[in-house]
Structure 1
Amino acid sequence: MSNVVTRATTLAAAAILATTGASVGAAQASALPSAPTCHVADLNLSLGEPDGAAGSLYYPILFTNTSTHTCALRGYPGVSVVDVRHHQIGTSAIRTGEPVDTVSVSPGDTVTAVFRTNSRGVVPSCRPVSAYVKVYPPNSFQAVQIPSHLRLCGAFEISPVQASDNS
């Protein structure tokens, strides 16, 4: 008789596991896939107009989706400045430490990341003037060089990619 009870318990447990597993599997299968990561080929990168405040200059890097599909960006871009020979001037931008979100970018929409440096005269040392700002979109091993004559002074920080106010 204990054999019958044990067998019935085992069958009941197996049925519960099968039902639970099937429903978990069904929920996972029906979840919508997230948008693919934006690649350099999907994007047009440019610099927006700088904004100054409290001895700092803030430069928005604009990531515009030029593809025909929605893609996503998450995290911090890699940013440095380079000379006319495409040699890096100083160190790359350091991350601000702000939390990151996944930002969905529909065709034609623009999202931003902002880098900050000190205004000239606020700190005693500045780098030579750049010829380009070199930007690696988040999770990309391919960079875009944006023509720009910038003089970085003191701090060089980058924020994560965020939805633009006008997107």
Structure 2
Amino acid sequence: MSNVLTRAATIACAALLATTGASVGATQASAVPKTPTCRVADLDLAVGEPDGAAGSLYYPILFTNTTTHTCALRGYPGVSVVDARHRQIGTSAIRTGESYETVSVFPSETVTAVLRTNSRGVAPSCRPMSTYVKVYPPNSGVAEQIPYHLRVCGQFEISPVQAAE
């Protein structure tokens, strides 16, 4: 008797699913396509002009979409400073711990992450001057080395990518 009830329940479920267009074990695809993650090849990376405040220096890391399609960035970039021989100088920048959201980067649009270090007067223990700033966009295993002379003193932090304000 229990096999008969099980079969009846299975048939009833199948009939219900057939009339609603649902399927067992499958998820319905979203009508809106997912925005692809920005790749290094999609971006022009640069270090912007520094800004100083309260003993800190803030350097915007600029991510400009060079494609004809929108792409997305989410989270923290990986950032380090390297010498002329492309060897890393000290440790990579640490994350600030700020929360983040996915940022859509439209064609020709620029978004930023902010790199912070201390001014020399506040933190006299400084690393040697870099030749490049090495940047991994969020969720990327590929980095770009941006020619830029940067001296890291004391703190070395990076914020998550944020839309332009």
Secondary structure (helix, strand or coil) at the match of 2:22 reads helix
Q: Which residue of 1 aligns with 2:57?
A: 57
Q: Which residue of 2 aligns with 1:133?
A: 133
CA RMSD, 1 decimal: 2.6
Gaps of 5+ in 2: none
Counterpart of 1:138, as a letter, is P
Distance 1:45 1:3 in 2: 65
Secondary structure (helix, strand or coil) at the match of 1:28 reads coil
Q: Which residue of 2 aligns with 1:145?
A: 145
* Amino-acid identity (%): 79
Q: 1:131 to 1:3 in 2, by over 3 A?
A: closer
Counterpart of 1:122, as a letter, is V
Q: 1:16 to 1:126 in 2, by over 3 A?
A: same
Q: Which residue of 2 aligns with 1:28?
A: 28
Where do residues 112-123 of structure 1 align in structure 2 (5 Å cutoff)?
112-123=112-123
Secondary structure (helix, strand or coil) at the match of 1:41 reads helix
TM-score, normalised on structure 1? 0.87
Secondary structure (helix, strand or coil) at the match of 1:12 reads helix
Counterpart of 1:92, as a letter, is S
Distance 1:59 1:153 in 2: 13
Distance 2:46 2:159 in 1: 16
Distance 2:8 2:81 in 1: 71
Instruction: Note the C-alpha offset of 1:10.
Output: 5.1
Where do residues 1-167 of structure 1 align in structure 2 (5 Å cutoff)?
11-19=11-19, 22=22, 28-165=28-165
The answer (yes or no) to whether the contact 2:17–2:23 under 8 Å persists in 1 is no
Task: Write out per-residue CA displacement over residues 119-160 of structure 1, whole angstroms, 9 at most, x where no aligned residue.
Answer: 111023110111110001111111111111111100000011
Secondary structure (helix, strand or coil) at the match of 2:128 reads coil
Q: 1:157 to 1:13 in 2, by over 3 A?
A: same
Distance 2:41 2:89 in 1: 26
Distance 1:24 1:5 in 2: 19
Instruction: Note the C-alpha offset of 1:29.
Output: 2.7
- Across the two proteins, how many residue pairs are aligned to each other? 165
Task: Write out per-residue CA displacement over residues 66-124 of structure 1, whole angstroms, 9 at most, x where no aligned residue.
Answer: 01111111111110001111111000000111112111111100000011001111023
Structure with the bigger percentage of helix: 1
Q: 1:118 to 1:6 in 2, by over 3 A?
A: closer
Instruction: Note the C-alpha offset of 1:13.
Output: 3.7
